[in-house]
Amino acid sequence: MTLEALRGDADALGDKLTRLRRAIHAEPELGLDTPRTRDKIRAALADLPLEWSEGPSTTGVVALLRGRAGDGRSVLLRGDMDALPMPEETGLAFASTTPGTMHACGHDAHVAMLAGAAELLCARRDHLRGEVRFMFQPGEEGWHGARYMLDDGLLDPLPDAAFALHVMPNAPFGILAGRAGALLAAADQLEIVVEGSGGHASMPHQTRDPVPVACEIVLALQTLVTRQFDAHDPVVVTVTQLDAGTAHNVIPDRAVLRGTLRTLSPGHRERLQESVRLLAAGIAGAHGLTAEVRIEEGYPPTICDPRAVALGSQVARELFGPAAFLPLEAPIMGAEDFSYVLEKVPGAMFFIGVAAQGSDWAACCGIHSTKMMLDENAMPRGAAMLAGLAERFLERGFG
C-alpha cells in the first residue's frame, strides 16, 4: 500500500489532536502517577477496537491493535505523558492550571500524535498484517517510566520493532530528523563529598581545607575528559553545584560537588565512572583529605538501529517529499528513557520540528523552557509519520 492517503487522513484529525493536547497541557501531571492524562487518552480512543493493559507500578497503558489481514510482525509506537516541575510563562489560553507544573518538553503533543496514529491505523485495520502496540508512558522526566513498564511485562512478548517521536521547538516546522547509532546520551548524576577538617579562615595551616581540593577536582575532571577519552566517542562532565561553608571567615569541614556525567556508549559510561572515582580519591588523598564519589545512574544511551533509521527516512520522504528527512551529523547529549526499550528492541527515535511556520526557528525557546511553545499544525504530520512507520514495518519489516 502507498502511504499517500495517510497525510489527508491525518490532517482531518487536526482539530481533535489539538483538543486532546490542550486538555492535557492544562492539567499536567508529574512522575509515574498520571491518572488524569491516562483517562483523557482512554476517553479519546474509547470507540476504537483496542485492547488495553495496565501494570501495577505506573499509570502507563498499552493499547493493542490486531490487524485483520492475519498474523505477522509486531511493532510498538511510544508517547510519553508526564510534565516537568516548573512554572509556565507562555500566556496561552490553555496554560497549566497546576502551579509549578508545565508540559515544557512536549509530552502533551507526543500523546496527541500517538493517539492520532492509533486512529489512523485502526481505520486501516483491514489491511494490517500483524499487530501494533501503542505505549502511553508516564515518568520519562527522570522517573524511569519505560523501565517500570518493561518490568511490569506490559511489552511482553517484546515487539519486533519500536519507534518514537520527540518534538523539537527550535527546529524548522515539520522537518523529521534522526541518525543511526547513538542519538542521545546516558545521563548519570554525580556527587563528590570532600571531607576535611575546618577551622578559622585566618589560620588555614591548622585545617585541612576541602574548598581548594574541591576546586582542583573540578578542573582535573575537565582534563580527564580531554586526555583520557576519544573525542569521536564524546564524554561530558559538568559540575553544576559547589556547596561549602557557612560564613566568610570559617573554613568548612566538607565541600560537596554535584553535576552530571554524559556518555554515548556503555563502555565509556563504565570507564568514566571508574576514572572519576580514582581522580577524586587521588587528589583528595594527596592533600590529606578523603573524597567519596556517589553516582546515581540515569538513562542509558539511546541507540538507534540503522535499519530502523533507514525505514524512517523512507517513510518521511514518501509522506512529505524528498526534503522531509534530515540526517543528523552528531548525537545530542540530552537523555531519554525510550533508551530502555531500544536496549531490548531494534528501533529508533526521531525528532519532529515544531517551530511556528515562517518563524525564526533558531530563536525559538527550546524544550524545558518556561516559555516553550509549539505549532500544533505539526501534530497531524507526526501522527502520519508514526502510523506510516508502523504500516511499513508490518508490511515489509526492515527490508
Q: Which regions of the chain are under pLDDT 70? A: 1
Q: What is the DSSP string of 56-67?
A: SSSS-EEEEEE-
SS (H, E, C) 72-131: CEEEEEEEECCCECCCCCCCCCCCCCCCCCECCCCHHHHHHHHHHHHHHHHHCHHHCCEE
User: How far apart (Å, rounded) are the C-alpha atoms in residues 183 and 255?
Assistant: 35
What's the pTM?
0.92
What is the distance between the alpha carbons of residues 199 and 191, in angstroms, rounded to a whole number?
24
Catalytic residues, by residue number, are 299, 376
The one-letter amino acid code at 168 reads M
78 closest CA partner among 309, 348, 296: 348
Q: What is the pLDDT of residue 69?
A: 79
Beta strands in the chain (DSSP E): 51-54, 61-66, 73-80, 130-137, 161-168, 176-178, 181-184, 186-195, 199-200, 235-244, 250-251, 254-263, 290-296, 302-304, 325-327, 347-353
How far are the Cα atoms of 152, 182, 188, 206, 260 from residue 334, in angstroms, in the given order?
Answer: 26, 11, 11, 44, 11
Domain boundaries, the chain: 4-183+301-396, 186-296
CATH of domain 4-183+301-396: 3.40.630.10
Which residues touch 242 (CB under 8 Å, ≥6 apart)? 214, 215, 218, 255, 256, 257
> b or e along 245-272 (b: 16 or more beta carbons within 10 Å of the residue's beta carbon)?
beeeeebbbbbbbebbbbbbbeebbeeb
Write down the pLDDT at residue 1: 62
Q: What is the pLDDT of residue 2?
A: 75
How far is residue 51 from each of residues 19, 60, 62, 126, 153, measured CA to CA in Å? Answer: 24, 14, 8, 16, 15
- Please identify, in words, the CATH class of the domain defined by 186-296: alpha beta
Instruction: Give every CB contact of residue 122 below 8 A, 6+ residues apart in sequence.
Output: 48, 49, 50, 65
Cis previous bond, 35, omega within 30: no
Would you say 182 and 306 are in contact if contact means Cβ atoms under 8 Å apart? no
Amino acid at 256: V
Contact 66, 51 (CB under 8 A): yes
| The residue type at 386 | L
Residue at 29: amino acid letter: E
174: region left, alpha or beta (phi > 0 left; psi from -120 to 50 alpha): left
Contacts of 244 (CB under 8 A, 6+ apart): 210, 211, 214, 252, 254, 255, 256
294 CB neighbour count, 10 Å cutoff? 12
How many angstroms separate the CA atoms of 199 and 207, rounded?
Answer: 6
Alpha carbon dihedral 189, 24, 5, 345, in 10-degree steps, equals 30
**Is residue 176 a contact partner of residue 384, using CB atoms and an 8 Å limit?**
no
Calpha distance 70→126 (Å, rounded): 9
